[in-house]
Amino acid sequence: MRQLLMVRYGEIYLKGQNRPFFLNLLRQRLKKAVLPYGGVVTLSDGRYYVTNYSDEHATIQAIQKVFGVHSLCIAVEMSKESFEDIQNTAADMIDGYNGTFKVQSRRSDKRYSLTSPEINREIGAYILNRHPHLSVDVHNPDHVMSVEIRDHAYLYIKILSGPGGMPVGSNGKATLLLSAGIDSPVAGYLIAKRGVELSAVHFFSYPYTGERSKDKVIQLASKLSAYCCGMKLYIIPFTEIQMEIYQKSFSDHTTLIMRRFMMRLAERIALLDGAQALITGESIGQVASQTMEAIVCTDAVVNKPVFRPLIGFDKVDIIRLAEEIDTYETSCLPYEDCCTVFTPKHPVTRPKIERVLKAEAPLDIDALIDRAIKGVEVIEL
């Protein structure tokens, strides 16, 4: 008899002939996640089993960040030969619980001497006998004692939810434009959840921002990285571009043109990094640079598709998600951001592409982009 973690996968169930590819990928992701705690991952009979881990709490937390995992539970694995032992173990496990319960069994070993309803009945009666303060409620129980008869018997009570989604790496690679704000980490999370591997770019405006605000972005990227099985963060020096735009463009167009530069730079990084798409945290109408017209203008400078998973989200919904994935507090750290110098007081909200091109005309775009790319700092997370 031993304790282990039983992990169930989600959407991979829907896969047909290529299911082994997804199952293998998820196993690799799980292995990497539990590696720091010495866990061993095996796949058997439609379940992953994690054994030999040192720190149960940390191992569970790590598994809860692996996309593709539907749920997991702390289970007792034991021989199925002695039904009396199984009954005994079930009664021991439910010791300390109060209220109502039911026993729910599954039998993938159809040769087992008892049927599922019989198992439920027998174990239920045994538990009631040992713990008379409990009562049975088969419709709406407080606790479910689950018993699975496979090559061994598996018993568990609590089921913890996983993050869902698809294993990272099963759906290509994309580059996330990561600011120090609330939205972009959430956007990255949502795309990664669909199995997309991420890299991130951050635009750094020294001396308008300093080491602490860079560290804030690194912290955010690290939090995302825990879900993404690692991530490269590209820090791009951006001050020269901002200064040039400030000096040479129409003041009401500076933010928009800055966004266009960010997209161009992100696409360059995506090309270097083998990413197929760009991701931003934009939500339509949230700020001047996120109106329909502005988004059309920023999209126009790149060839790669731009995914905006938050496009239809209200700010409150984005904040709720940021809290769920634990990036909200970091995003709200009040480190200095004096880039407002480059934000016009009255930005254009309905830009026209002709005027945008005119505003950009005095800038040596390629040279500025080349210089910025040369100064990139890469951080492996």
Partner 1 sequence: MENTKSTKMNIAYFDNSATTRPTNEVIERVTQCIKEGYFNPAALYKPAFDIEQQINRCRNLIKSKISAEQVYFTSGGTEANNLAIFGSLKHKRQKGTILYSAGEHPSVVNACLELLNLGFKAQTIPYTVEGIIDLSSFEDLLSDDIQLVCIMHVNNETGAIQPLHEAVQLVRSKAPDAHIHVDGVQGFLRVPFNMRFFDINSYSLSGHKIHALKGIGALALSKGSKLSPILFGGNQENGLRSGTENVPGILSLLAAIENFPANPSMRSLKLQLYKRLKESIPTLSVNGPVPDSQQAAPHILNVSLPPVRSETMLHALEADNVYVGIGSACSSKKQRISTVLQSMGIDKTDAQSAIRISLGLLNTQVDADKLINSCVSAYDKLKHYVRR
118: contact with partner 1 by CB under 8 A: no
And the tokens for 329?
Answer: 């507090």
Residue 197 dihedral angles phi and psi, to the nearest 5°: -75, 140
Query: Are 65 and 227 within 8 A, CB to CB?
Result: yes
203: contact with partner 1 by CB under 8 A: no
337: contact with partner 1 by CB under 8 A: yes
CB of 341 vs partner 1, minimal distance in Å: 5
DSSP β-ladder status, 69-78 and 2-9? antiparallel
Single residue of 1, 292, 300, 338 touching partner 1 by CB under 8 A: 338
179: contact with partner 1 by CB under 8 A: no
210: contact with partner 1 by CB under 8 A: yes
DSSP β-ladder status, 173-177 and 197-204? parallel
Count, residues in the chain? 381
CB of 237 vs partner 1, minimal distance in Å: 12
340: contact with partner 1 by CB under 8 A: yes
Decide: helix, strand or coil at residue 27.
helix
DSSP class of residue 82? -
Q: Is 164 left (phi over 0), alpha (psi -120 to 50) or beta?
A: left
CB of 347 vs partner 1, minimal distance in Å: 11
Instruction: Please say which residue, 39 or 347, places its beta carbon nearer to partner 1.
Output: 347
Rg, Å, the chain Cα set: 27
CB atoms closer than 10 angstroms to residue 289: 22
**x/- letters, 225..244, toward partner 1 (CB under 8 A):** ------------------x-
Single residue of 16, 96, 312, 334 touching partner 1 by CB under 8 A: 334
CB of 332 vs partner 1, minimal distance in Å: 9
247: contact with partner 1 by CB under 8 A: yes
Decide: helix, strand or coil at residue 167.
coil
DSSP β-ladder status, 306-307 and 2-9? unpaired
CB of 232 vs partner 1, minimal distance in Å: 25
Instruction: Name the site residues for partner 1 (rule: CB under 8 A).
Output: 206-210, 243, 246-247, 251, 334-345
